[in-house]
Amino acid sequence: MSESSSHIYEQLPANQVAIVNQFCDQFEHAWRQGETPAIGDYLSTAPASVRKVLLHELVLIDATYRKQASVAFDVSDSYQQFHDLDQSWLAENIPTAVSIHPKDKSDLDPPMSTRYEIINEIGRGGMGIVYQARDRRLGRKVCLKSLHPETSRSPERLARFRREARVVSSLNHPNICTIYEFEEHDDRPYLVLEWIEGNTFRELERQGCDLRRLLGLMTQVARALDAAHAAGVVHRDIKPENLMVRGDGLAKVLDFGLARLVESEPSNVSLTDDQTAEGALLGTAKYMSPEQARGEPATAASDVFSLGIVLYELVTGRHPFPGAYLAGILNAIVETDPAPALTVNSVLDPQLVTLVSRMLEKIPEDRPTAADVVALLGSIDSLAEDQGICLSDSTTTTAQLIVGRESELQEIRLACTAAEGGRGGAVFVSGEAGIGKTTLLKGFANNVARRKGFIFLHGQCSQRLSTSDAYLPVLDALARCKDGPDGRFVEEMLKSKAPAWEALTASSTDALARLSTESGPLSQGRMKREFRTLLSALSQRRPVLLLLDDLHWSDASTVDLLSYVGQDLQDMRLLILGAYRTTESALENHPFERLRRDFVARGQGRDSTLPFLNCDEIVLFLERHFPAHRFPDSFAEFLHRRTEGSPLFLQGLVRYLQDRKVVTQEDDRWILTQDPLTLGHELPDSVASLIDTTLDQLKEEDRHLLQAASVQGSEFDSAVVADALEIDRAAAEEQLQRIEQVYGLIRTVEETEYSDGKLTLRHAFVHVLFQEALYAAITPARRAGWSLEIARVLEELHGRRAKGIALELAFLYEAARDFPSAIEWLLQAARQYVMIGANCEAAETCHRGLRLLEKLPPTSERDQTELELQFTSGFAETYVRGYGSSQSLLAYHRALELCERQPPTKEQFSVLHGIWVYHSARMDAENVATLEERIVQLANHLGLPCYHYAANTTIVLSLMHQGKLELAEKHLQLAQSVSEYSVDDDRHFIEQMCMPFGPAFHTARSWLRQLQGREEEALAETATAVAWEDELGVPQFQVSSWYATLHYLQRNAGQALYWARKSIEFARRADFDHYLDMASIIEAWAVEIGEVGDRLNRASLVEAVLKDMPDNRDERIRFGSPLQTCMLGEALASLGRHDEARAAFTDSLTFGRENNVRWWEAETLRQLGLLYEQAFDNLEQAEANVREGLVLAENQGAKLLVRRCLDDLKRLEAL
């Protein structure tokens, strides 16, 4: 930046510089997302006071990204409309050489040298590119750091680069990265630095580190800074990314690119702040000192402050000045005192807590020097190693606060040890609200399991969404893990082992639809198999801990999933921990209760109920919370009487006494300033009154903010609440941070990013009881208003991914009394549940939508919405309860009524065909005929060839089953006349109704040709159907089943077995019982009759089919048609079970005649005749049956069956 431009930049107040940086971040994010953002759009929304500086920054970013993308552009043409642009600055910083064409790519290549061989690029920063290289002369790995080509043309940045070389070379310390050379090649300067194998402190934070090791590493860093400060060098960019630890434990300080020589020797180059190219604010904002944030000169004390932030973050698991926006972070650094480290991690050594606090003093002179830090760290007697404290998470040390839970912890430890050894198990912890279930389990997980290298998955059930949101806690666990230290590995495993779960955690309905098309419906069976495969793959690498909170609110799909995983639990390195409330789980007869009992009965699970604390345990609680206190013995007795040992009440009451200064510190000792009993009625006497008392202390503006937050739920986003209340996001963050520090009602969970790149802080109420109390106190009108605003904000921020929170949006709109929006989101949620096979939740969600629909006046739009809900409900109920479900029947009948009220649409074709499939599977001839007539009428009305093709194909299938082969041939010709029907038309139908008609048409024609005795044409048609499905990329469970049936018609047992087993494979993957049952019968027939496959298991295959076949007629529908029953009869006859075979043939005939499914009746009569001949020696009855079959086959035009009957009659007559 030019001197004039830099001067303008440095004159800006810190808050305006923060605004500039925020706009620049958004501009860069747009480039990284593949967009080409317009500078003018950003300038128009920026405050006038910063536009000139912002313009220069945006131009520099714009030119840099254009060059990296090899985008040809002319500097003068591109920026001529900006009259405030300093032309001399433009010429100096963005020369015309930037206006490159794609062929001018050589500048982007690494600097080449005969001495150094580039291995790979390892990173890019604002100024330079870093490479891993090999020194050919010395045979060692080195790090090459070169300037971006455009940066090397900037005198200011080139000077800064050379300064880094001089600064680092002036230092000689084992904990400072060594510089070997400063060279230039083809006018490209580069540094040759020491190559460090190891991890950054950021990675150390994610992985976890015991306290003693951490203190040793921090001591090394402090020594490096002490050496640098003694040489007059201030680093000015201390942050976790610039601190590394080698494999041998040696710490290294990196990147002195922002360093400043404060007392230069004559041989050194002195740098003033005016020479800093990036202006007053350099370094990473989150780790700046207050003076840097104000734009003042940095000193050695600034490095100490930054190191204090790093140390605070590592020992507490959270940043002392959290915020999603730069302005809020800088303001907190300058104005706000962080929460004492001891309040976040109560087992830290008091000396360490004092040191961290001193390092974070606002006044530089009040901070210790780097030499002081070295000495103080060395004097601290750490207690970490023997207690196993792992410092990587904000909740890491909660286990150290736990008292009175030794037996329960021992149970969990035993299960943990077993899981480590490959024998998985589960521990379920129960108790009432506030008893400490989550504290116990999370404390154990973060301290013990992580220290042992477990992959940690933690999910939370929701009271609001309760049983309606499918897989909620599991998805929550996977999403959190993806953002954690194991995120990259877990994400890779999700993509390779569980793509459906990967799409769900990314809230990508497009990805779900694509997966459904490519590999079949995302059934509940597939979801279960994928999840089990994922856990198995993860546990092969490292043991896995799955912690699920509030299981008394779990959904049916999650319970079913856990039950499925439990089948293989003992063979996996998996520990499941669950927390639940006893009374709620038992009173509502929740499915989790059955799961828990099953786990315990099988010896896979243990159950623990947490009791209240006794007086001795409260004494221990006080010792751990208030080390070296001087409380009288009666204080523990008082607390026990008052709280009855409730942990939540106990902690709240103690905090209340601290706020009232009854419990306070004096000379580093905790004391009582008065007898608590003197407070009288002011003391809360129950958890409820404690909550009320705590909330009464809130300022009005704080209560207002938290009540709005409670509308979003027990967890909430600062940006959402701020936007809903129309207040500044940064201000809201600061207010929430203050509430957390002062009242302790909420905690910061994480920093998250929305789809548009905007950041927000995720907060949680420390207990759901506080959220419930705040929510209950909101007036109905305000509750509705806030619910509406929060729903709208969430919808806007999530954009296309809003479908992933459809149920949450539905409940918010319902609370807002916006019933149309609530119903629309309920329908979206139901459709997504159907897509992933969560049909219980889909049906329940539809029912909720239908109940809300009753509140709306009758309109055509209401009818259309009800039609969609009823149809989706019918589909889901059929999956859950089978084709005999009365709920499905009622839903479909209502859908048909609504269709009659509506004008004909393409969408109705999907509904009518779906209901036709339902009644066809039920073999309900009367309804099938009525529906076919309506389908044809609708196709005629629509007038589109593809709908004529689909309608006639539908009728062909029906007529064939009825045995009306001549009529079927006519409709086949009508469908075939639609010559332009293509695979693209089928893709439309798949998207609209998950049904391709091309394969159905060719399969129907193959069956017809087979019955007509034209076997070669039949095989050719089936091959066409398979090829068609291949081109569509859809699973072949349907065509493979039809292909198996065709080979049965041909009596080709080998091919029938092959395609039956393919159909079984596909049907199991898709959870399609209908096709699974049909294919299983063909498999049993092929093995028994055709004497192929495993003959040793032939009887077991038939037995399995008989066992699965229910007695109830409606339930037997799923076993397909009389054709399959006839196959079963053949298999039974071959096994010598003649009476059962006769009953099967008779059943097939009766069933087919009752339901007008007569296409295989002739063959069944023939088989029954053969049974009478061979098993019962009744030739007269045998001949009568075969002759009856012959007449029927001749009337139907089934030449294949006519030939078979004639052959048998000739043989019988000859006997």
Active site residues: 237
First to last CA, the chain: 109
Residues 412, 447: Cα–Cα separation, whole Å: 13
Q: Which amino acid is at 827?
A: L
Task: Characterize 283-313 residue by residue with b for buried, 16 or more Cβ atoms within 10 angstroms of its Cβ, and e for exposed.
Answer: bbbbbbbbbbbbbeebbbbbbbbbbbbbbbb
Residues 243, 485: Cα–Cα separation, whole Å: 18
| Residue 546, beta-bridge partner list | 457, 576
Q: Give Cβ neighbours of residue 209 (< 8 Å, ≥ 6 apart).
A: 217, 314, 390, 391, 392
Residues 425, 253: Cα–Cα separation, whole Å: 44
| Helix, strand counts (H, E) of the chain | 59, 20
Q: Give Cβ neighbours of residue 168 (< 8 Å, ≥ 6 apart).
A: 176, 177, 178, 179, 193, 256, 259
| Residue 245, beta-bridge partner list | 199, 251
Q: Are 1034 and 517 in contact (CB under 8 A)?
A: yes
Q: What secondary structure does DSSP assign to 1057-1076, as a single string?
A: HHHHHHHHHHHHHHT-HHHH
Tokens of 941: 């009305």
User: Residue 224: which of 375, 374, 378, 357 has the closest Cα?
Assistant: 374
Residue 327 to residues 16, 44, 258, 284, 1076, Cα–Cα distance (Å):
9, 20, 21, 13, 61
Q: How many Cα atoms occupy the beta-carbon half-sphere of 1176 within 13 Å?
A: 18
Contacts 24+ apart (CB under 8 A), 1053-1061: 1053/1085, 1053/1086, 1053/1089, 1053/1090, 1053/1091, 1053/1092, 1054/1086, 1054/1090, 1054/1092, 1056/1082, 1056/1085, 1056/1086, 1056/1090, 1057/1082, 1057/1083, 1057/1086, 1057/1087, 1057/1090, 1057/1092, 1057/1093, 1060/1086
Q: Are 433 and 768 in contact (CB under 8 A)?
A: yes
Residues 194, 141: Cα–Cα separation, whole Å: 8
Looking up tokens 């000859």 gives: 1214
Helix H or strand E segment including 207: helix 201-207
Local structure of residue 210 (DSSP, 8 states): B
Q: Are 508 and 801 in contact (CB under 8 A)?
A: yes
Residues 444, 429: Cα–Cα separation, whole Å: 13
Looking up tokens 């190191």 gives: 307
User: Residue 1160: which of 1017, 970, 962, 971 has the closest Cα?
Assistant: 962
What's the burial of 472, exposed, middle or buried (CB within 10 Å: 0-12/13-18/19+)?
buried
Task: Characterize 150-180 residue by residue with b for buried, 16 or more Cβ atoms within 10 angstroms of its Cβ, and e for exposed.
Answer: bbbbbebbbebbebbbbbbebbebebbbbbb
What secondary structure, in 3-state letters, does 1127-1195 show?
A: HHHHHHHHCCCHHHHHHHHHHHHHHHHHCCCCCCHHHHHHHHHHHHHHCCCCHHHHHHHHHHHHHHHHH
CA angle, 885 as apex, 880 and 889 as ends, to 5°? 120
Q: How many Cα atoms occupy the beta-carbon half-sphere of 773 within 13 Å?
A: 18
